[in-house]
Structure 1
Amino acid sequence: MSGIGPVEPAAPGGDPHPAPPIAEAPATGPAPETLTSRAGDPDSPGVYGRWAALPRRTRRTALTLAGAVAAIATGCSLLLSRPAPPASPPPPWPAQAVEVSYAGTTDLDGAANDGVFTFRIRVAAVRNTAVTVENIAQPYPALSLITSPRTPVTIRSGTSRDLTVRISVRHCSGIPLGVELPPLDVTLRNIRAIKDQTFLIGDAYANDLSAALRARCPAHRSRVPHTP
């Protein structure tokens, strides 16, 4: 004889259908490194420990390279941030770069005989640029002028040079007797420009020129006024 009896309760804490155990996921790689140790390995030395374990020479070399890289980076940053230097000023005009002066006569007595008055002028390059004397002339048609050495003549920066000038009397008619300020017309050139400039080189030149002209043309008494 068979029958169905009451279902017996499960034992306390029991499960008639226990769930299967959950398997742990396998590790996919080493644990992340920290500054002091490696996860899962409390005896790992860490970054500082490995640095301290390096040979002293290796650490010194590494620090030297790091310092050099930092210095180069700082220098490049300063160069890039430094403002551009101001533009240099232009060179002076030729007349501003020279001084022209009278250096005396060489043969004042010869003017009475052959009508040639020989004197010297000194040209000094007083600025930071060389100057070339392209030509020297005078404004009176009755007179002619040549220089020795022949122009052009270049004067280096910071130096001076004496040029011999010969003025010849072509004819006595219209010569400028008693001129007060006889000019010299000088053409100058430097790296900036070429310019014509009139120079008044002083009373000594005016007196010597007047004496030479009167010695050559003693009978001539007319005076031609000078208009610079």
Structure 2
Amino acid sequence: MSGVGPVEPGEGTRAWDTVEPAPPFLPGTPRERLTSLYARHRRAVLASTTVVALVAGGGYLFATRPHDPPPPEAPNPSQAVSITYLGQEGTPAGAPSRSFSFAVKVTAQDGPTITVVRISQPYASLSLTSVPPPPFRTKPGFGHKIVVTMHVTECANVPSNAAFPFLDVTLRNTRAIEDHSFILGERYAHDLSEALQVACSNDSRSSPKR
């Protein structure tokens, strides 16, 4: 029996090969088609350029944006502390004769903790102690009561009128350590003058007559 078999594919071909689709037909004259292709290409280029510009602009804005300002530097400790005179206090038990006590309030403003390193007074004829004894820390925003006791060591050199008395206080915070003189006002000056007179007059009355 004879017949014609299926056609074998030629060399380099496959039966399932498909033909590449022709590019879409653009209507119009060749010049119009060229203009349309150019317009499409130009829009693609412009879109790409816009994306690049936006990315570059965003990077520039990120690099030049304002930065947060650094935190403010802590003030000097004397500028962040106030000392207020509260009045006379009872002399503590066991204090030597010619002693008297008064209270002050130490208040630290908002900011780093301040340490009271030392409390003293300007008169050589007086010694001073306090409760609590320094050094001690002050908690910002709260008043701390300090009881100061003075002892007259030599009445001959005690001022007859303590018109402008003050306390010398050494303070320390994270910025500096400094000595500062705090004037406590007229009430403190009056009470101090009176206490000195009483202490030394009692001492003179208790001394034996020659």
| Partner Cα distance (1:141, 1:93) in 2 | 28
Q: What is aligned with 1:184? A: 167
Aligned residue in 2 for 1:102: 85
**How far apart in 2 are the matches of 1:104 and 1:160?**
15
Identify the residue that residue 83 of structure 1 maps to in structure 2.
Answer: 66
Structure 1 equivalent of residue 22 of structure 2: 40
C-alpha distance 200-80 of structure 1, shift in aligned 2 (>3 A):
same
User: What's the % identity of the aligned pairs?
Assistant: 37
Query: Considering only CA atoms, is the larger Rg found in Structure 1 or Structure 2?
Result: 1
Q: Residue 115 of structure 1: which of 76, 82, 98 is its match? A: 98
Shift of 1:103: 1.1
SS in 1 for 2:116: strand
Aligned pairs, number: 155
Structure 1 SS opposite 2:193: helix
Q: Does 1:209 align with 2:192?
A: yes
TM-score, length-scaled by structure 2: 0.64
Task: Give the counterpart letter for 1:199 in structure 2.
Answer: F
Equivalent pair of 1:121/1:162 in contact (CA under 8 Å): yes
Q: Secondary structure at the match of 1:101?
A: strand
Match of 1:35? none
**Structure 2 letter corresponding to 1:209:** L
TM superposition outliers: structure 1 runs of 4+ over 3 Å = 72-79
How do residues 130-169 of structure 1 correspond to structure 2 at under 5 angstroms?
130-169=113-152
Indicate how the Cα distance of structure 1 residues 210 and 188 shifts in structure 2: closer, same or farther if over 3 A, else same: same
Which letter does structure 2 place at the counterpart of 1:152? P
2:193 is aligned with 1:218 = no
Is 2:98–2:203's contact at 8 Å kept on the other side of the alignment? no
Residues 18-73 of structure 1, C-alpha deviation per residue, up to 9 Å, x if partnerless? xxxxxxxxxxxx99xxxxxx85176xxxxxxxxxxxxxxxxxxxxxxxxxxxxx99
Whose helix fraction is larger, Structure 1's or Structure 2's? 2
Partner of 1:217, secondary structure, is helix
AA paired with 2:193? S
Structure 2 CA distance for partners of 1:154 and 1:219, relative to 1, 3 Å:
closer
Query: What TM-score do you get using the length of structure 1 for normalisation?
Result: 0.60
Give the CA deviation at 1:158: 1.3
Q: Give unmatched runs, 5+ long, in structure 1.
A: 1-29, 32-37, 43-71, 222-228
Q: In structure 2, how many angstroms separate the alpha carbons of the residues matched to 1:75 and 1:103? A: 62
Contact 1:173 1:220 in 2 (8 A): no
